[in-house]
Amino acid sequence: MIDEILPAISGEILTDDATLTGAGRDWGNLVHARPRLVVRPASTIDVAAVVRFASKRGIPVAVRGAGHSPYGQGQTDGGIVLDMTSLPPRRVVIDGLVSVDAGARWRDVLDVTLPHGLTPPVFTDYLDVTVGGTLVVGGVGGAAHHHGVQTDTVVELEVVTGAGELLTCSRDSNRKLFDAMLAGLGQCGVITRATLQLIPAPTRARRWKLYYDSLSSFLADQRGVVRDGRFEYLEGQPLLGEGGWRYMLEAVAYYTPPASPDEEALLGALSFVEAESEDTTYFDFLNRVADGEAALRTVGSWFHPHPWIDLFLPDSAVEQVVDETLTTTARNDLGDTGLLLLYPLRADRLNTPLFKVPGGELVWLFSLLRTGSPVDPLANARMVELNVDLYRKVSALGGKVYPSTAMPRSAEDWREHFGPGWQILAEAKALFAPESHLNPGQRLDFSGTP
């Protein structure tokens, strides 16, 4: 039994049924791999001891943040799960930067920065995912068209490499490790701490929901406002109603009174057919999913399977792909509480080598956030199949898939996804994690890579 020969650590080693079952579940609720044991480290020394031990014996280690992956990305069958949320908080704001333990949720980061009048520039829509969990995939949100994704805002990382060595890395030091950890799917090490850029925090957010009847006018307005950068935050959603599809552009201006947004200048030239607006504190805007979460927990669908797919489309194909997808997508394909996202990012703001998007000036996040059935595995398998079909179609048009997607992927799919970036990852793996088998749930395979 590996728990009998593990090195002594100051954290906990858990093998009870409830813990192992919990570690074999995630947000997707589609893949269930049961680990041999779960380690709740009390320090980075514990993390290093476990990773070194596992690496020498070829035991897989899955690193777990908040467990909000959709398809077993943070699970391992028979290996060790390292629960990063047990690390003691290390959260400091200094010189316009914040340094946090990787198990901190983005909500925790805001808790320490807002009292200083500062904020990370980009948030995921949901604040209860961890810093480590989003930095290994990218971290996309409505401010990315200004600041890039969350990985673009990282200044330094502390990493326990797959060989069990504790290193710091940045653009100026251990660059190969830095580049391989950001959006590198946790293949070369475990992020234990991250130092992130901050910007001045506004106190208020004015949010407009602008409705369109036509896809092309919705896309045209999104292109215009993302290019001129007039809103601090921009997302959008195709909405399925009784009368078919409509489109909602979600645009936000941040401000701090006595300044206030100039609505005429911001909305004047746009071609929406209907508008709503609301004004909240900056924090309440960032925390806007919390109400929806409470409602979905009450009706139970928060816990149902989530066959989600997030894609990046080239600007040249967005209208065709979205139009064809919407034409063939019924409510049944999304589930009762499923929804779609569609919004552009500027490629010139994306500087993380392993964060892969199509070429071109603009790329479009297109997400089908499906809710599956709690009782019908065949219906869920069908939704995953729909994801695979869409992925194949989008890949043929030059699109990419966001790693946090519910879909099986082969080793070949991954090599194609990373393109020349595969070599960056493979070289770093050989240097920093040659024997280790980290985050097997991502299903990468380095065998045969020189």
Ligand X SMILES: Cc1cc2nc3c(=O)[nH]c(=O)nc-3n(C[C@H](O)[C@H](O)[C@H](O)COP(=O)(O)OP(=O)(O)OC[C@H]3O[C@@H](n4cnc5c(N)ncnc54)[C@H](O)[C@@H]3O)c2cc1C
For ligand X, the closer of residues 116 and 346 by Cβ is: 346
For ligand X, the closer of residues 270 and 370 by Cβ is: 370
- Strand, coil or helix: what is 265? helix
Q: Are 195 and 94 in contact (CB under 8 A)?
A: no
Structure letter (DSSP) for residue 173? S
| Interface characters, 230-249, with ligand X (x: CB under 6 A) | --------------------
Choice from 130, 161, 195, 287 touching ligand X (CB under 6 A): 130
Binding flag, residue 442, ligand X (CB under 6 A): yes
Q: Which of residues 79-108 bind ligand X (CB under 6 A)?
A: 84, 102
Residue-wise over 126-152: b if at least 16 C-beta within 10 A, else e?
bbebbbbbbbbbbbbbbbbbbbbbbbb
Choice from 136, 177, 219, 383 touching ligand X (CB under 6 A): 136
For ligand X, the closer of residues 116 and 443 by Cβ is: 443
Residue 269 and residue 231: Cα distance in Å, rounded?
14
Residue 82 and residue 86: Cα distance in Å, rounded?
9
Which residues are tagged catalytic? 68, 125, 235
Choice from 11, 41, 133, 202 touching ligand X (CB under 6 A): 133
Q: Which residues contact 420 (CB under 8 A, 6 or more apart)?
A: none
Find the shortest distance in angstroms from Cβ 74 to ligand X: 4
For ligand X, the closer of residues 141 and 338 by Cβ is: 141
Residue 396 and residue 218: Cα distance in Å, rounded?
25
For ligand X, the closer of residues 124 and 195 by Cβ is: 124
Choice from 24, 79, 132, 344 touching ligand X (CB under 6 A): 132
| Interface characters, 171-210, with ligand X (x: CB under 6 A) | ---------------x---xx-------------------
Find the shortest distance in angstroms from Cβ 433 to ligand X: 11
4 burial (CB, 10 Å; 0-12 / 13-18 / 19+) is exposed
Binding flag, residue 334, ligand X (CB under 6 A): no
Strand partners of residue 38: 14, 81
Token pair, residue 374, equals 């709690």
Choice from 9, 31, 59, 64 touching ligand X (CB under 6 A): 64
Q: Which of residues 145-164 bind ligand X (CB under 6 A)?
A: none
Residue 258: asked if its preceding bond is cis (omega within 30°), the reply is yes
| Interface characters, 395-424, with ligand X (x: CB under 6 A) | ---------x--------------------
Strand partners of residue 250: 209, 235
Find the shortest distance in angstroms from Cβ 187 to ligand X: 9
Distance linking the first and last C-alpha atoms of the chain: 34
Q: Which of residues 43-62 bind ligand X (CB under 6 A)?
A: 62
Q: Are 311 and 335 in contact (CB under 8 A)?
A: no
Binding flag, residue 67, ligand X (CB under 6 A): yes
Stretch that binds ligand X, among 127-135, 213-221, 248-256, 386-394 (CB under 6 A): 127-135
Choice from 24, 35, 41, 65 touching ligand X (CB under 6 A): 65
Choice from 93, 127, 129, 384 touching ligand X (CB under 6 A): 129
For ligand X, the closer of residues 125 and 279 by Cβ is: 125
Residue 366 and residue 342: Cα distance in Å, rounded?
5
Choice from 60, 141, 372, 399 touching ligand X (CB under 6 A): 141
Alpha-carbon radius of gyration of the chain: 22
Residue-wise over 272-288: b if at least 16 C-beta within 10 A, else e?
beeeeeeeeebbebbbb
For ligand X, the closer of residues 40 and 261 by Cβ is: 40
Sequence-ordered alpha helix ranges (H) in 66-214? 106-113, 131-135, 144-147, 175-181
Stretch that binds ligand X, among 63-71, 203-211, 312-320, 406-414 (CB under 6 A): 63-71
Task: Report the run of H or E that residue 101 belongs to, with start and end.
Answer: strand 97-101
Q: Which residues contact 445 (CB under 8 A, 6 or more apart)?
A: 411, 414
Question: Which of 446, 422, 448 has the alpha carbon at shortest distance from 434?
Answer: 446
Stretch that binds ligand X, among 120-128, 241-249, 382-390, 426-434 (CB under 6 A): 120-128
Choice from 24, 27, 30, 357 touching ligand X (CB under 6 A): 27
The residue ranges that bind ligand X (CB under 6 A) are 26-27, 62-69, 73-74, 84, 102, 124-126, 129-130, 132-134, 136-141, 186, 190-191, 404, 439, 441-442
